[in-house]
Amino acid sequence: DGELARVTGASSPRGAVLNEFCDVASDLALILPWGAVKYVSPVYAVGLGMLAVVTEFAALTGFITGAGRCNQGPLGKSDRAFMLGILSIAVALGLPMKPVGPWIGDLFAILLGITSLRRFTAAASGKALSAPASTPDEPAPGAAEYAAEAASRSTGPALDSPPRDGA
């Protein structure tokens, strides 16, 4: 996980790219199949998928302003996965989704919108929340150092490549 790599100092440019790509891909893999569930519109599932992508994009905009990754909530990646997991269990158990489905989808969309707004706002202010010890009023510990390191790496190759023996 990208956050774990950042906290432990094990991050790399290749890992950062893979982390962000896989975050978006997993969001879509978790959300889009809901379009095949009875009482869920495929168009609505695609819309929620797009909102999730915007939410992840909003987290990355902090790098543009030097704030680092903006992880403000209330519906971050882990929260989305947990919420969709609970809903999946409910469907698998045959619990009726028709009475609650529309308002759960609307709540999900509203929370994604709030999350995106908070992340864009944090990025615009230059203050990220990317570690549990942070508050919205101060940058995450190490955020400035991480942004400076990422910026210094951006002048070289886009991805690090492993050393070649004998070359």
Question: Global pTM?
Answer: 0.72
Higher pLDDT, 153 or 125: 125
Residues 71-126: tens digit of each pLDDT: 999 999 999 999 999 999 998 999 988 888 788 889 999 999 999 999 999 999 98
Least confident of 39-43, 81-85, 94-98, 134-138: 134-138
Q: What are the tokens at 66?
A: 């030097």
Quick check: 140 pLDDT over 90?
Answer: no
**How far apart, in Å, are the Cα atoms of 121 and each of 73, 138, 150?**
12, 13, 21
